[in-house]
Every structure is written in structure tokens, then in C-alpha cells.
Structure 1
């Protein structure tokens, strides 16, 4: 086979051109493209590191703002509780005053009513005594035929009412 016989003759020149081609390729890629690629990778790493640092700073700032908001919110809640408690205390005090005033009016009316009832009871007792005295005089005169004086009948009625 003639192709195999030529192999020994052309081997050295093909090896030479292979070495030249790989050498040129190595220098073009190694010296031209690799530094650009490495520079791009370094820039990307730097950009990622900067972005991560900015994100961390933003997160820290957001955490600080959230904490400040929570503190303000808690203070506002405490103020609101204070206002509500003060309003409740004020309303309770006003209610107590109103109730006390109403209780005074009711007590006064009750005392007046008790006085009127006592006066009416005394008047009714006096009237009952007068009627009982007249009735006793009339009964004694009809039953026994004796005329009893008004003071004697009144005394007997009072004694009877006192015992019974």
C-alpha cells in the first residue's frame, strides 16, 4: 500500500506543521483570549461580590428600619392603651358621679315619701282612734244603755290599741 509507505516520509513535516499550528493556537488563545476571559470572570466575581455586599447592606438597613418601626409601633400601642384606659377611667368617674347624683335624688325622694307615709299613718291612726272612740261610745250606749264620755272612750280605745 502506497499510503503507508508515504507515512514515514511525510511524518516529520506533518508533525512540524502540527506543532506550528498548536503553537500559534496556544499563543492566540493563551495570550489573546484567556486574559480577556479571566478578566471577564474576575469582573463577574467582583460584580457578584459587590451585589452580595449591597444586598447584605440593604437587608441590614431593612432590618434596622423594621426594628425601628416595631419600636414605634409598640410605643404607639402603649399610648393608645393609655388613652383608652384614661377614657375608661374618665367614663367610670362620670358614671359614678351621675349614679351618685341619681342616688341622692332617689334617697331624698325616698325620705320624703317615708315622711309622707309616716304622716299619713299617724293621721290614719288618729282618725281610727277618733272613729273607734265614737264607735265605742255608740256601742256602749246601745248595748249597755250607758252614756260614756268622749275622754273615757278615747282612753279605753288607746289602751286597747296599745295592747293589741
Structure 2
């Protein structure tokens, strides 16, 4: 076979050119491009490290801001509780004053009504006595056919009513 014979004749030169080609590729890629790739990787690592450190600083700042916010919120909540307690106390005091005034007014009205009731009761008793005396005079006139003085009739009625 002629192809195999030809292979043996060109075998040495093919190996030579193979080594030359690999050498050139090694020099171009290994010496030139590898440095750029390593530089890019190092730059990326530095960028990632810087981003992580800035993220950590931002997280610390956010934590501090959250603490300040919570402290302000707690202070505002305490202030609101104090104001609510003050408002409740003021409302209770105002209610007590209004209730006291209303109770005093009601007590005055009750006393006045009791006085009117007592006067009306006294007037009714007096009137009952007068009506009873008139009725007694009328009964005596019809039954005994005699006239009784009004004063005597009143005295008799008073004696019966008051024992």
C-alpha cells in the first residue's frame, strides 16, 4: 500500500511540524491569553469581595437603622400610652364633676319635691279633716236631726284621726 509507505517517509516531518504548532499554540495561549484570563479571574474575585464587604456594611447600616426605628417606635408608643392615660384621667375627672353637679341638682330637686309632697300631704290631711267634719255634721243632722257646730265636728274628727 502506497499510503502506508508515504506515511513512513513523511512521519518525521509531520512530528516536527506538530511540535512546532503545539509550541506556538502553547506560547500564544499559555503566555499571552492565560495571563489575561488569570487577571480577569483575580479582578472578578476582588470585585466579589468588595461587593460582599459593601453588602455587609449596608446590612450593618440597615440593622442600626432598624434599631433606631424600633427605639423611636417604642418611645412613640410609650408617649401615646401616657397621653391616653392622661386623657382617660381628664375624662374621668370631668365625668366626676358633671356627675357631682348632676347629683347636687337632683338632690335639690328631690328635696324640693319632698317639701311639696309634705305640703300637699298636710293640705290633704287638713282638707280630709274639713270634709270629714262636714260629713259628720251632715250625718248627725240627718240621723239625730240636730245641728252640730263646725268647731265641735272638727274636734271630734281630729280625735278619731289622731287617736
Match of 2:119 in 1: 119
What is the CA–CA distance in structure 1 between the aligned matches of 2:7 and 2:130, rounded to whole Å? 168
What is the CA–CA distance in structure 1 between the aligned matches of 2:12 and 2:159, rounded to whole Å? 166
What is the CA–CA distance in structure 2 between the aligned matches of 1:144 and 1:69, rounded to whole Å? 107
Deviation at 1:26, TM superposition (A): 0.8
Whether 1:40 and 2:40 are equivalent positions in the alignment is yes
The TM-score, its normalising length taken from structure 2, stands at: 0.88
Deviation at 1:87, TM superposition (A): 1.4
Query: What secondary structure sits across from 1:107 in the alignment?
Result: helix
CA RMSD in angstroms, aligned pairs only? 1.9
Whether 1:162 and 2:162 are equivalent positions in the alignment is yes
| The 10-residue stretch of structure 1 (123-132 or 146-155) with the greater mean CA deviation from structure 2 | 146-155
| The 10-residue stretch of structure 1 (104-113 or 73-82) with the greater mean CA deviation from structure 2 | 73-82
Deviation at 1:150, TM superposition (A): 4.0
Query: What secondary structure sits across from 2:142 in the alignment?
Result: helix
Query: What secondary structure sits across from 1:145 in the alignment?
Result: coil
What is the CA–CA distance in structure 2 between the aligned matches of 1:31 and 1:109, rounded to whole Å? 114
Unaligned runs of 5+ in 1: none
Match of 2:53 in 1: 53
Deviation at 1:130, TM superposition (A): 2.4
Unaligned runs of 5+ in 2: none
What is the CA–CA distance in structure 2 between the aligned matches of 1:95 and 1:59, rounded to whole Å? 53
Note the 1:2-41 alignment, pairs <5 A.
2-41=2-41
Q: Deviations over 1:16-54 (max 9, x none)?
A: 221122112112211111111001001101101211221
What is the CA–CA distance in structure 1 between the aligned matches of 2:63 and 2:160, rounded to whole Å? 97
What is the CA–CA distance in structure 1 between the aligned matches of 2:159 and 2:42, rounded to whole Å? 128
| The 10-residue stretch of structure 1 (128-137 or 118-127) with the greater mean CA deviation from structure 2 | 128-137
Match of 1:83 in 2: 83
What is the CA–CA distance in structure 2 between the aligned matches of 1:108 and 1:36, rounded to whole Å? 105
Deviation at 1:103, TM superposition (A): 1.4
Deviation at 1:109, TM superposition (A): 0.9
What is the CA–CA distance in structure 2 between the aligned matches of 1:103 and 1:138, rounded to whole Å? 51
